[in-house]
Chain A
Amino acid sequence: MTADKQPLLDVRGLGIFFRTEAGEVQATRDVSFQLRPGERLGIVGESGCGKTVTGLSILGLLPRAQSRVEGQVLFEGRDLLTLSPRQLRAVRGRRISMIFQEPMSALDPVFTIGQQIGETLRAHRGIGKKEARERAVEALAQVGIPLPSRRVDEYPHQLSGGMRQRAMIAIALVCEPQILIADEPTTALDVTIQAQIIDLLFDLSARTGTALLFITHDLGVIAETCTRMLTMYAGEVVEDSPVDAALERPRHPYTSGLLRSIPRLSKRKTVLPSIAGRVPSPADMPTGCRFRARCVHGLAECEARQDLLDVSLDRRARCMRQAELTLPGAIA
């Protein structure tokens, strides 16, 4: 939508490696994308495609002893990957926040919600305990928690799953960050609660101008919430596109496969299409297109290294046949 705006976050050539007993394993390769102010970018892909570690690596949250990250994460003119721990702490929770999948295990069980919101404020704003508590009540009210002045003194186990995730969002947004990274924020919740949390994130993002990086395996969520989507497969970005364009005419066979495997109420009694085959293991990655073994459009040339090709000004796909193929999307 706003391709002319300067990117807020510019991720370039992100490669994440993990040390294992069998040697170093590459989790992502050459992941590049941009997030513009106020934009909502969804990263989609199946389990193990590298979307979660990409999110974690932006804030330097991968376990240091067991991982190595190459590339650049440019934010406000600085490369987050080269910041000192102290400089990075000033970004975490204040400029870029993150929320996680399981709100129960992501909140400290022995501190009250108010204390956990307050300490974020106190770490970044240098305010007193009393003011922090007042701000915590306001923050809870803002994320739609009823009786915030009572909930503020409750512990995580006293809240329901949806309320816990709202509290988690309140913690993340209390310092009004520019970017919120949401890692599968609704996966652990009931379906009805999922919709509420997605609406809340959408509203807050629209109201405060916080850019959203939405990591999920749920294309429906992305279709509803996001402006752009990044499809990841086996550690690589295979398509980077505005959501509407990708839904209508995906340019990568994997994106198309994902879109076609969403169940639709309008088409009863049909076999749900699925993508045959399995994701290659990180220890045994093919050299060329990583999706080749599962792709019905594969050619001998796909064995060569595939680069992200420009489809249009704001669209890229990692498929040499992207221009010639007409792939089915979600809007049939």
Chain B
Amino acid sequence: MLTKDRLRLVGRRLVQIAPVILLATFVVFGLQQLVPGDIAATLAGESATDARIAEIRKLYGLDRPFLVQYGSWLWGALHGDLGKSLLSGEVVLDSILRRFPTSLLIVGCALTLSLSIGIPLGILAAVRPGSRIDATVTSVASLGVALPNFWLAMLLVATFALNWNFFPATGAKPLSAGIGPALLHAALPAIALAAGGIAEVARQLRSSLVEVLSSQYVRTLHAKGLSPAAILWKHGLKNVSVNLLTVIGLIFNRLLGATVVIEAVFAIPGIGSMVVHAAIHKDFPVIQGVVLALVLIVISLNLLIDVLYTVLDPRVSQK
């Protein structure tokens, strides 16, 4: 799998990624400069004296020039030190690591649902373009893309949790508490997130598969005497897999972002609700830490997908 070409590709990508990450850290850290108000004043409390505010400013190093602050934060981040929460005093990296599995479970479930429902729907629609099945899938998918996930989330909670008591309405259980309870808690948020993903996968897969199946090389395959099943499952799917991979990457990134809203709706202690809470209370080390973690995850995923392209499409490594 790891041929010389692929290693070279990874190396090239890493060289391209490094400045992107550096820029991202700068933007992430710079956020605090854009927020109105004085952090030191907020931290010091409502009736603090000027002397107390100055003391706090000095304590947190906020009196230093911006670039110096950035430099010391970056240096710390490089060594795995993202600072401590201004509110709870907890080490930021620890709370990210503690809360991340909860979010990842929801995103993972949502992605699995998106693919396991979206792929069959897309294939079903593409095999007979213009048929009634195709029309149904296409219109349901349009609806799925258009539905706001927080609205769907509230609808799901009202119906399945509050009315019928099938699922818990709020909260999360870690996987260590058992797969059953963990999945039960993750189910509704995952479904709410997956609706858009299912629709996106179905739509994208349908359109790329329709294109492949009407291509000239598929006509050649028919002329060779291959069965429609062999053409669809072997040639059709391999040819659309590159597109599918792109869609998976996009959806994963989008799901990760959407957890911010969904975790708020379901009161789930993941990194989404963590960053919302921190943002409301101007807990900058936490915001910076979480955003940086998300940036790194998205960039690594894109790198992985770039490498997988070369596995699926022999033309990629040539370019």
Contacts and interface: CB of A to CB of B under 8 A. Distances in A.
A25 to B, nearest CB: 19
Contacts of B235: 108, 111
A98 B220 CA distance: 8
Nearest to A97: B223
Nearest to B315: A157
A93 B130 CA distance: 29
A264 B193 CA distance: 70
Given A106-B217, A106-B220, A109-B217, A119 B226 contact: yes
Contact of A171 (B216, B224, B312, B313): B224
A193 B215 CA distance: 25
A142 to B, nearest CB: 17
Interface in A135-180: 155, 157-158, 168, 171
Contacts of A94: 225
Interface size class of B (residues with CB under 8 A): 20 to 34
A108 B238 CA distance: 10
Given A100-B216, A105-B215, A110 B225 contact: no
Contact of B312 (A93, A110, A119): A110
A120 B239 contact: no
A280 B307 CA distance: 54
B318 interface: yes
A107 interface: yes
Given A123-B230, A155-B314, A155-B315, A107 B220 contact: yes
A109 B315 CA distance: 8
Interface string B210-250: 00001111011111111110100011001100000000000
Interface string B262-288: 000000000000000000000000000
Contacts of A90: 225
B222 A110 contact: no
Given A61-B222, A65-B130, A108-B235, 5 more contacts: A108-B221, A108-B239, A110-B313, A157-B314, A157-B315
27 contacts: A59-B222, A61-B219, A61-B223, A85-B228, A89-B225, A89-B226, A91-B225, A93-B223, A93-B226, A94-B225, A97-B224, A100-B220, A105-B216, A106-B219, A106-B220, A108-B220, A108-B239, A109-B239, A110-B239, A110-B313, A110-B315, A119-B230, A120-B225, A123-B230, A157-B314, A158-B318, A171-B224
Interface of B: 130, 214-217, 219-228, 230, 234-235, 238-239, 312-315, 318
